[in-house]
A and B are shown apart, each in its own frame.
Chain A
């Protein structure tokens, strides 16, 4: 069964390179390439990363990177919200040592021609890995700059040939209470679920992530496979993905189910729409000094030029 499905995706189904290149040129021309992007990538210091992490080979540096200095590997791996491993920011690093990200399979189902269970290697093999430095904004009003490694989610989704009925993509985190101590408590309705519209999922900025700082993703950051949707609050970027479903209806998502008045389906970063309990106008950049003021939050986390068109005609104060 498994081996048949393994062959279900053929190399011919990968985005042709010419299309891939053209798209990149278009994006660059659109003005968000940033001449400094390469310099930023060069500033990422590999010696920050403990030698125990496996380095990822053959990375290309993405022109979609922002020109800001990344946070340290230490900050990125020690300050995490990942309730599957506990509620405190330090818990994921502390409690994720017993999690085994390999071997890994992802179930793909719903409105697509190609469905089934796919091994991690089958998922990532056809895709060239890129390093992309992105802004990351948590709904709790803090932010980081992170050098992710991954490939566009859209390139993967196309391989499954979504049908015309597929209007949304739903994602689910793995459910392993034996390895994820936080799942032994009904803090949230496990397994964690998230979702995107098909247009959001296909957007070139939406990244399927396998690494950070040029090494394999640490457990606390969502090993082995997570999403990054850089213009949305962090909770949309689901970790440790075990299921991808193409759906006709807007999927249930964990945080908007838990507190719909506080966390909406879209969760676009928006300084003008406050969380009911705090302002979203400013954010604290992790890794700055005690005396550094909060900085203003940017609409769509600074990616408005690229993504605002996705929400034309939508009232962002209601669809928050």
Chain B
């Protein structure tokens, strides 16, 4: 009975709230683009959009990966119900990040874009992470999950690699001070560490 109530609460309050919160960074960008002064995109708006969408893609990836450890820590099943939404937001911000690069930064100048992707390692890595996210986003529906069965879980383990590539991409494009990428890399290491530790504990049983 109480678990049904929790289900209802998650569906009616938790999820809409999470959805609205996840849209805040995008809303701030749109307000800035529309000229609302407090949300100004600054002197270099294209760069500001690039940095904001990129950092939120990475944050949502890490949030997605935080749901399993959160379930372990709380003993509650509800964190897993937010995983798909968070993952899709990670993909959406990553797609906006790439779209901004293609359209506003490079204005679809493929003479620059193609060498960027093939010759500049940090762009190659970021692009790879985005491409790998596509099948995960596509197969995020219940139908695909059912159709893929056991393969689904194996496929979605790609997210570990994607998160590592995203951290690396961020790390590599920083000019000098690596504190911020280091923080994200440490968070990722901790989130993956929990899983490795649990895996070992299971094997011992």
**One of A24-32, A94-102, A284-292, A312-320 contacting the partner:** A284-292
Whether the Cβ atoms of A187 and B122 lie closer than 8 Å is: no
Q: Is B42 an interface residue (CB 8 A)?
A: yes
Judge whether A290 and B177 touch: CB under 8 Å.
no
Q: Is B199 in the interface zone, CB < 8 Å from A?
A: no
> What does the 1/0 interface line of B42-59 toward A look like (CB < 8 Å)?
111111000000000000
Closest CB-CB distance, B30 to chain A, in whole Å? 12
A287–B43 touching, CB < 8 Å: yes
Any chain B CB within 8 A of the CB of A279? yes
Residue of B nearest to A281 (CB): B112
Q: Hey, which chain A residues are within 8 Å of B41, CB to CB?
A: 290
> Contacts A187-B176, A258-B176, A294-B107 hold; do A79 and B44 have CB atoms under 8 A apart?
yes
Question: B43 and A278: CB pair below 8 A?
Answer: no
Partner of B42, one of A89, A188, A259, A284: A89
- Taking a contact as CB atoms under 8 Å apart, the answer to whether A87 and B177 are in contact is yes
Contact (Cβ within 8 A) A75 B43: yes
Q: Does more than half of chain A's interface fall in helix, strand or loop, or is it mixed?
A: loop
Residues on B with C-beta less than 8 A from A277 are 120, 122, 172-173
Q: Which of A74, A278, A284, A291 contacts B44 (CB 8 A)?
A: A284
The answer to whether A279 and B116 touch (CB under 8 A), given A142-B47, A290-B46, A291-B104, is yes
Q: Which residues of A contact B176 (CB under 8 A)?
A: 83, 87, 187-188, 258-259
A14 within 8 A of B: no
A78 within 8 A of partner (CB) = yes
Beta-carbon contacts under 8 Å, B47-104 to A: 47, 104
A307 in the interface (beta carbon within 8 A): no
Quick check: is B115 within 8 A (CB to CB) of the other chain?
Answer: yes
Q: Is A36 an interface residue (CB 8 A)?
A: no
Q: A83-B176, A290-B33 are in contact. Are A142 and B107 (CB under 8 A)?
A: no
In this complex, what residue of A is CB-closest to B175? A140
* A254 → B minimal CB distance (Å): 10
Contact between B43 and A78, CB atoms less than 8 A apart? yes
Please encode chain A, from 274 to 313, with 1 for each CB lying within 8 Å of some chain B CB and 0 for all others: 0001110110101100110110000000000000000000
Which B residues are in CB contact (< 8 Å) with A279?
112, 115-116
Contact check, B44 vs A293: say whether CB atoms are below 8 A apart. no
A68 within 8 A of B: no
CA distance A188 to B177 in the complex (A): 9
Instruction: Kindly state the separation between the CA atoms of A3 and B45 in the bound complex, as whole angstroms.
Output: 50
Query: At the interface, yes or no: B2 with Cβ under 8 Å from chain A?
Result: no
Q: Find chain B residues with CB under 8 A from A281 CB.
A: 112
Q: Nearest Cβ distance between residue B129 and chain A, in whole angstroms?
A: 17
* B3 close to A (CB within 8 Å): no
| CB under 8 Å from chain B, chain A span 206-260 | 258-259
- Which partner residue on chain B sits nearest A291 by CB separation? B104
Which residues of B have CB within 8 Å of A188?
Answer: 176
Q: Give every chain B residue within 8 A of A78 (Cβ-Cβ).
A: 42-43
In the complex, A117→B112 CA distance in Å? 50
Looking across the interface, which residue of chain A has its beta carbon closest to that of B176? A187
A90 within 8 A of partner (CB): yes
B120–A89 contact, CB under 8 A?
no
Return A284 CB to nearest CB of chain B, in Å.
Answer: 6
> Which of A90, A284, A287 is packed against the most chain B CB atoms within 10 Å?
A284
Within 171-195 of A, Cβ neighbours of B (below 8 Å) are at 185, 187-188
Taking CB as reference atom, which chain A residue is nearest B43? A79
Least distance between A73 CB and chain B CB atoms (Å): 11
Bound form: Cα–Cα A207–B149 in Å: 69
B203 at interface by CB-CB < 8 Å: no
* Chain B proximity of A23: nearest CB distance (Å): 35
User: Which chain B positions have C-beta within 8 A of A140?
Assistant: 175
B109 CB–A CB distance under 8 Å: yes
Q: Which of chain A's residues have a CB closer than 8 A to the CB of B105?
A: 284, 294
Residues of A participating in the B interface, judged by any CB pair closer than 8 Å: 74-75, 78-79, 83, 87, 89-90, 140, 142, 185, 187-188, 258-259, 277-279, 281-282, 284, 286-287, 290-291, 293-294
